[in-house]
Structure 1
Amino acid sequence: MEVQKARGEVEIRQLKERIQEQEVLLAEREAQVEKLEVELETQKKIVEDLNFLKAKLEHDVSQYHTKLDIVIKDKAALEQELKHTKTLMEQSEATSALTQKKLEEVLKKENDAQISGLQRTTNAQEVHKLLDEGVLQKLEMGLLTIEEVRASLVHRTDKPATVAGLYVESSKKKTPFLEAAEKGFLAKTYALEFLEAQAATGSLVDLATGETVSVAEALEKGIVDLSMKEKLMEAEKAVSGYICKGRKLSVFQAMEERIIDRFKGKKILEVQVSSGGLFNPETGMRVPTFIALNDGLLNKETLQSLHDPVSNPKGFHSPDTGQRAYYDEILKTCLYDINGSVFLVPFGERHLTNTSPMSPHRMSVVNSSCGSEMSVYEAFKGKHINKNTYLFLSQQESNWQENSLVDPSGNSRHFITDARSGRQLCLESALSQRFLEMSEFESYRSGLLSIHEIADIIFSRRVVVEDVNSPIAGLWDITRKKRLSVLQGLQQGVTDRVTALRLLESQACTGGICDPSTGEKHTLSDALKRGLLDEALKQQLQQFEEAFNGITHPQTGKVLSIFQAVQENFLPKDVGFRCAEFQLLTGGLINPDTKDRVSLEEVIQSNLVGKTTATLLKNEQFQAQSLTCPKTKRRVTFKEALERSVFDCHTGLRLLEATKVHAFGAKTAFHYLCAFK
């Protein structure tokens, strides 16, 4: 038994050992399997990465081939374009040469190689440089005559736009500067300033005939005094040239060589630029600024400093006021006399050339032979002046520019705006109202009609009616002769914020925020988008717009009037009183349902307002001086401001005259708070 037991134990031990060995082998196999699985996953990932790289490379190769095809095509296109450009350049050079040849032939044929107004014979290449495209096209077609050359060069070679004398408003006669000095209209030194300016632009003007003469001829005819000879002969060198080392130098070149004083030189340059262009003494021709810059007759720094009062002080005196001014400023105030085709400074108390909001056009053209006075457009339509003169004078008076915007409906609207006066016209509105015909609009788009003509056509057909119920829609800057919105006046220091706020409150509670450039009225949201308000003002005006539209009772849904809203505590008392005052002074309280105006008596009869409040509204003693007059800087009531305002002939709305603000008003809500106590 023991032997069997021992054998059994041995067998059991052997079996256990075998089991342990098998377990070890199994563990090793499992470890190998796990290792193989990891390696398999790694290999799979490597394969996936390789497949991805393969796909990416295939994509890159495809893109490369595509780009290569594009480059090849672009190269071919560029070569073709380069070839075409070379052909065009050759054609252009040939055309230019042919044009100059034809011009020489025309000049030779007409036996007039010296164009009127030039100081010496000018070759075809120099004339070609200044010809406009229309004349060049005619020249290429063989349709050019010497008259067309003269017409194209008239603003370069005709007599410059210099101030020739005075227009005495009382007698409606023109007066030479020396005669005006003898009569005591201006100092003789002031007269000499203008005569030197004439000499520095090529010639003096004989007012009796309208002809231009040299200084020598003027002395011979007795147009100027012998005592002025030296200064006028010196001024004439600005055209004939300053001789230096055998060369003729222009004014700027003489300044650079220190032959003439820089202040004197800049004064002459300002005169020449203002009157039509700088003179090139080598050719005797006036050239525009951009050509002068290219030809070394001027540099940008000097050009930019011509109206800088520090580096170039104002060198002339206004005959009417005696104040110092630039030549350009005086020229813009001049009248154009068709009797002699000269520019005259108006002298007198009528201030003919002053721009006013009450007059659509200033008087800019006169006929001193009969005393007639007219606007530029009237003179043009009456065929007293040609189109070139009309455009030149119009540019002196206004600066029209076109722009467009998208209205709330998503439609594009085109506007022309005069940057000087602040007027604005909508072309679509003009077409719909028949102030402008479609044929005229198409002519404008094709370039046959200028922007000045379009503006004048519209103005000549519009009938503007004064809006007696208008609040003060904006400001008239009497210094710059320009319309300003209330916000612009505030931003430019023409009025203070409290006054601006009161004016805008009156607009918001009587129909909307006014745009004085167009006469349109806008909601607060639209006014903000159009730059008529800033965000802070918009927030302050919310209650005034609600007062105009009517405040709805939250329980009953009834639309409340101003007084009802105050009684129900939906509108502050001071706001309600100001709204009532603004509305009453501009035509009556506004019914929020119908927008009709209602008198105070009718409101009292309907028991919508108490007798105490009505008495306060009627009595001017209780009207607060809540505004500062933008012109006098004195405190005024809203009623006084209305009485001082003027109706704008452009919109029919009221404007308040203004100058730079020197004092600021203060808030005065005391009367408004007391009104409902």
Structure 2
Amino acid sequence: MVNLELSKSHGKIENTFQGNKTLLVRRGRLNDNSKLLEAEQMDNKGSTSVQNAVAPCMSQNECITHTGDSVGTRYSKMNIAHHVELLVHNLPSQLHTKMSGKLPEIANLNNNTILPALADDSGPYATNTSRNEVFPSNETGKFQGLRHCVSVKELVEADLLNKNVAEQLEKGVKTVSQVQKSLGKYLNQVTSIAGLYLESSKQKITFNEAAKEEIIRSSVALEFLEAQAATGFVVDTLSNRKYSVQEAIEKGLLSPEFRKALLQAEKAVTGYLHNGKALSVFQAMEYKLLARQIGTQLLEVQIATGGIIDPVRSVRLPPETACKQGHLSHEVARNLYKMLGNARGFHHPNTGQPMHYAELMKLCVVDLAGNHLLLPFGTRKISTPSPAMPSAISVVDTSTKSEITLYDAFLKYYIEKQTYLERSEPQSQWKEATEKSEGTTRSFLTNVSSGREFSIDDALAQGRISQVELNKYRDGHITVTEFADMLASRIIEPPNPNSPIAGIWDPNECRRISVLKAMHHNLVDRLTATRLLEAQACTGGIINPATGKRYSISEALQKELIDTEIAASIQKSQQAFRGFLQPGSQQVLSTVEAVRRNLLGCNLGHHFLELQHLTGGLVDPNLQGRISLEDALYTGLVDEQTAQRLQDETRHSRNLVCPKTREKISFKEALARAVFDCHTGLRFLEAADRATALTLNQCFSA
């Protein structure tokens, strides 16, 4: 099967050939399809060295026609290797056109490519439909654009196709179908959020129907429908078909009250007429035909869903190309979110929280039954990362009501490798780092976005990965994203009931952060941060939440897990675990004995004992392990009065401020509210999200 990388003018041309079996897969279930032999023959015929296009082989020299078949009943062609080793060889690690680097703020926004299909036949535009519908019939050498056919010449002019591929099309080396599929997101593929995924029933619903059934507000539904209209199509998630706004209204898919607003939004696709010319959104802004705030929001949506729309050619353009062709400026592209400011034009249907469209797309799941992006709605928050889950749910099948992660979908051949990498890499941000200590070099995989870190050496020593798998990663046959997902799926630790609060879960960034960093981000106050770190120190050491490893105060300072002010204030906490030295001798005393000899204040000593008691038992530095309160009482480590005080929860000080609710809570209550991290087994306290924090700030300031 030929896998071709589309690089246009931005990168080196690559092509690889892989003689793997080609099977037809329907919703993840392998079928002994009668067309298998034909598919293999087509692939073998297409095994020619070709450059500059992304195009898995499909058929020979056919024109693209829209048959009107629903997306849910078409087959997705997948490249199935003879075994895992073959699967990871010679597959392109990236499918997107590489940016030139001039637009760092938006280069990673096009990260929501939906599942590839044989051809985009999801519309109602069948071969027997009338000529006055959105798409006319194709002619040889024509491609389906957003609203009309696009010629090879127009694709070359739009910088979506280079002349080499154009020549290959003319010679029959490449087929129109191959190139149509490879350019799907720039041509007529649905790339917007198609509807809601109802978590309770595991069903999908259109935004219009959700508003009718009063699941969401009409104003929220209109926001998402405007985004659909402004990026190409109104989507019917039940039939998996796409329509123009007028057709959707005529078919009863849209409420009449939305008509005017959606027709206006659709001009972002068809163009804003001015002096006989159809202008793009940016051009309409320049001519002051469109308010800058509205235009900027439309540009944000188009960039997030695949590119700026050229209404004349009826295609989407990557931002860099759009800048070259006058449909965007570098200044607007760089400052897009500055121009938007706090004006997030969309509201999360669940929470009402204002968000950018790109942020909402990251929360979407891919529906195998419809090849569309759906936004989860409900209380389970399946697509929202959590410390309790190795990976969030990214793929659903509404026909079978199954939910799986993106990595599992790839392993089970539900999606192709290129789709897995396209959707996971922009959000994963895994990098390899090394650390030299005592003459040895250790390798780690770190993820800044999630706050996770895995030791490659430890994983190998513990048998979680094999040397063969590590060699594949080292040789480049497995990408860092795939290797990290492999580790994440295998490194699962059970909850540690004796864990203190190891860190803070930031729901805004969906990542694990240290207590100190949470304080710097105003998620916890300094006093609460100090007391949480105090609890860590007196129960074994300061914790790195990325790995679960503990460090002394001096080591934690070097690793920026604490600052100098906190370090000075928690020195005695560390002694509560390591022991107090008797002045004038080398005798190491326990906390209880230090109190008895007046080396430690009674209240502070009892506080340390309380923290230890709640996290697995008291500590005697002269003995190994932790000691239960019963054993401590039996051995005389504590007296009966001290034991009763430790067991009396009414005497536990409520000296912490909950980062989620701002309530005064005790350490025991903090432990009860915490969630266990699946990779370390340690407890994390969840902070308030931005919307909740804003509400709480207003309440406390009133």
TM-score range, shorter chain: 0.7 to 0.9
Unaligned segments of structure 1, at least 5 residues: 1-88, 664-677
Aligned residue number for residue 29 of structure 1: none
1:436-455 equivalent positions in 2, closer than 5 A = 436-455=465-484
> Shift of the alpha carbon at 1:504?
0.9
- Kindly provide the CA deviation profile for residues 23-69 of structure 1, in whole angstroms up to 9, marking residues without a partner as x: xxxxxxxxxxxxxxxxxxxxxxxxxxxxxxxxxxxxxxxxxxxxxxx
CA distance in 1, matches of 2:472, 2:156: 33
Secondary structure at 1:352's aligned position in 2? Answer: coil
Aligned residue number for residue 662 of structure 2: 633
CA distance in 2, matches of 1:323, 1:555: 62
State percent identity of aligned pairs. Answer: 40
Secondary structure at 1:525's aligned position in 2? Answer: helix
Bigger radius of gyration: 1
Q: Is the 8 A contact 2:512 2:545 kept in 1?
A: yes
CA distance in 2, matches of 1:439, 1:291: 42
Secondary structure at 2:393's aligned position in 1? Answer: coil
**Structure 1, 485-494 or 212-221: larger mean CA deviation:** 212-221
The answer to whether residue 142 in structure 2 is matched with residue 114 in structure 1 is yes
Q: Is the 8 A contact 1:339 1:368 kept in 2?
A: yes
Structure 1 pair 625–291 and aligned structure 2 pair: CA distance change class (3 A):
same
Secondary structure at 1:612's aligned position in 2? Answer: helix
CA distance in 2, matches of 1:117, 1:546: 70
Aligned residue number for residue 260 of structure 1: 290
CA distance in 1, matches of 2:490, 2:52: 46
1:38-57 equivalent positions in 2, closer than 5 A = none
- Kindly provide the CA deviation profile for residues 585-637 of structure 1, in whole angstroms up to 9, marking residues without a partner as x: 11111232443111223223333334433333232233222222222222222
1:543-582 equivalent positions in 2, closer than 5 A = 543-553=572-582, 555-582=584-611
Aligned residue number for residue 418 of structure 1: 447
CA distance in 2, matches of 1:346, 1:195: 16
> Shift of the alpha carbon at 1:288?
2.1
CA distance in 2, matches of 1:547, 1:595: 14
Q: Is the 8 A contact 2:492 2:680 kept in 1?
A: no
- Kindly provide the CA deviation profile for residues 352-409 of structure 1, in whole angstroms up to 9, marking residues without a partner as x: 323322222222222111222222222222222223332344357x332315242443
The answer to whether residue 552 in structure 2 is matched with residue 523 in structure 1 is yes
Q: Is the 8 A contact 1:107 1:113 kept in 2?
A: no
Structure 1 pair 444–287 and aligned structure 2 pair: CA distance change class (3 A):
farther
Structure 1 pair 603–131 and aligned structure 2 pair: CA distance change class (3 A):
farther
Aligned residue number for residue 382 of structure 1: 412
Equivalent residue letter for 1:497: R
1:42-441 equivalent positions in 2, closer than 5 A = 112-117=140-145, 119=148, 120-123=150-153, 126=156, 129-130=159-160, 149-150=179-180, 152-157=182-187, 159-225=189-255, 228-308=258-338, 313-395=343-425, 398-441=427-470
Structure 1 pair 144–340 and aligned structure 2 pair: CA distance change class (3 A):
same
- Kindly provide the CA deviation profile for residues 165-214 of structure 1, in whole angstroms up to 9, marking residues without a partner as x: 22223332222222222212233343333222112112222323323333
Structure 1 pair 650–233 and aligned structure 2 pair: CA distance change class (3 A):
same
> Shift of the alpha carbon at 1:559?
2.7
Structure 1 pair 569–658 and aligned structure 2 pair: CA distance change class (3 A):
same
Structure 1 pair 529–311 and aligned structure 2 pair: CA distance change class (3 A):
closer
CA distance in 2, matches of 1:262, 1:543: 59
Equivalent residue letter for 2:156: E
Secondary structure at 1:601's aligned position in 2? Answer: helix
Secondary structure at 2:481's aligned position in 1? Answer: helix
Structure 1 pair 292–613 and aligned structure 2 pair: CA distance change class (3 A):
same
Secondary structure at 1:159's aligned position in 2? Answer: coil
Unaligned segments of structure 2, at least 5 residues: 1-8, 14-49, 64-139, 698-702
Higher percent of residues as helix: 1
Equivalent residue letter for 1:272: Q
Aligned residue number for residue 606 of structure 1: 635
> Shift of the alpha carbon at 1:553?
3.7
CA distance in 2, matches of 1:621, 1:186: 44
Structure 1 pair 629–312 and aligned structure 2 pair: CA distance change class (3 A):
closer
> Shift of the alpha carbon at 1:252?
0.6
- Kindly provide the CA deviation profile for residues 526-580 of structure 1, in whole angstroms up to 9, marking residues without a partner as x: 2112110112222222222233222344555333222223333444444432221
Equivalent residue letter for 2:619: I
Aligned-residue Cα RMSD (Å) equals: 3.6
Aligned residue number for residue 27 of structure 1: none
Structure 1 pair 152–613 and aligned structure 2 pair: CA distance change class (3 A):
same
CA distance in 2, matches of 1:171, 1:446: 44
Secondary structure at 1:475's aligned position in 2? Answer: strand
Q: Is the 8 A contact 1:135 1:148 kept in 2?
A: no
CA distance in 1, matches of 2:161, 2:451: 34
Structure 1 pair 220–641 and aligned structure 2 pair: CA distance change class (3 A):
closer
CA distance in 2, matches of 1:277, 1:99: 23
Q: Is the 8 A contact 2:308 2:319 kept in 1?
A: yes
CA distance in 1, matches of 2:440, 2:157: 47
Structure 1 pair 311–546 and aligned structure 2 pair: CA distance change class (3 A):
closer
Q: Is the 8 A contact 2:61 2:177 kept in 1?
A: no
- Kindly provide the CA deviation profile for residues 276-310 of structure 1, in whole angstroms up to 9, marking residues without a partner as x: 21122343322222322333322244234443486
Query: 640, 646, 651: which is aligned to 1:617?
Result: 646
TM-score w.r.t. the length of structure 2 is 0.72
Query: 585, 588, 607: which is aligned to 2:617?
Result: 588
Structure 1 pair 324–601 and aligned structure 2 pair: CA distance change class (3 A):
closer
Equivalent residue letter for 1:321: T
Higher RCO (C-alpha under 8 Å, 6+ residues apart): 2
CA distance in 1, matches of 2:342, 2:650: 53
> Shift of the alpha carbon at 1:476?
1.6
TM-score w.r.t. the length of structure 1 is 0.75
Q: Is the 8 A contact 2:61 2:175 kept in 1?
A: no
Aligned residue number for residue 75 of structure 1: none
1:449-528 equivalent positions in 2, closer than 5 A = 449-528=478-557
Aligned residue number for residue 83 of structure 1: none
Structure 1 pair 143–487 and aligned structure 2 pair: CA distance change class (3 A):
farther
Structure 1 pair 475–108 and aligned structure 2 pair: CA distance change class (3 A):
closer
CA distance in 1, matches of 2:217, 2:659: 35
CA distance in 1, matches of 2:584, 2:460: 47
CA distance in 1, matches of 2:52, 2:407: 37
> Shift of the alpha carbon at 1:226?
5.5
Aligned residue number for residue 672 of structure 1: none
> Shift of the alpha carbon at 1:445?
4.2
Structure 1 pair 427–108 and aligned structure 2 pair: CA distance change class (3 A):
same
What number of residue pairs does the alignment pair up?
Answer: 563
CA distance in 2, matches of 1:193, 1:539: 52
Q: Is the 8 A contact 1:472 1:653 kept in 2?
A: yes
CA distance in 2, matches of 1:635, 1:404: 40
> Shift of the alpha carbon at 1:146?
5.2
Higher percent of residues as strand: 2
Structure 1 pair 253–406 and aligned structure 2 pair: CA distance change class (3 A):
same
Structure 1 pair 611–194 and aligned structure 2 pair: CA distance change class (3 A):
closer
Secondary structure at 1:307's aligned position in 2? Answer: helix
Equivalent residue letter for 1:205: V
